[in-house]
Structure 1
Amino acid sequence: MSGEMMSATINGHAFDASRVDTTVQFGSVEEWMLRNTSTLDHPMHLHVWPMQIVDRAGQPIEEVIWQDVVG
């Protein structure tokens, strides 16, 4: 990585575990768009929160797929 540090962002803001950017009502459903704009090939993972995959590269997925890591 040519000596540069990797930085994670959420909605354009640097990740900060001490900051709350949003709250979600219990039982609600959210749709997230994940985009890796870096040169680092790193899987997305939410640590014990499975995600339902609804499309890949803009193409809808018909079957129900649950994953906790997306590469």
Structure 2
Amino acid sequence: MEIPKLTTRIKSAMDGWFALEVLELPDLVVHTRSFEDIRETDRAAAGALMGQPPGEFDVDVEL
């Protein structure tokens, strides 16, 4: 089974927060405080939205 791929873009960064958009899931907007946490935060949010374990996603971050 192929791991679903998610592409994330940083929508904005201010006041110590990153707002992220996931291209494959346009209704999903994710917020995180750390650049290093973007992939993990996206996995958790996508998993909750789609009813799948967070580890089931491969996340690519576009700057």
TM bucket normalised to smaller: under 0.3
Q: Which structure: larger Rg?
A: 1
TM-score normalised to the size of structure 1?
Answer: 0.25
Relative contact order higher in (CA < 8 Å, ≥ 6 apart): 2
Q: Which has the higher strand share?
A: 2
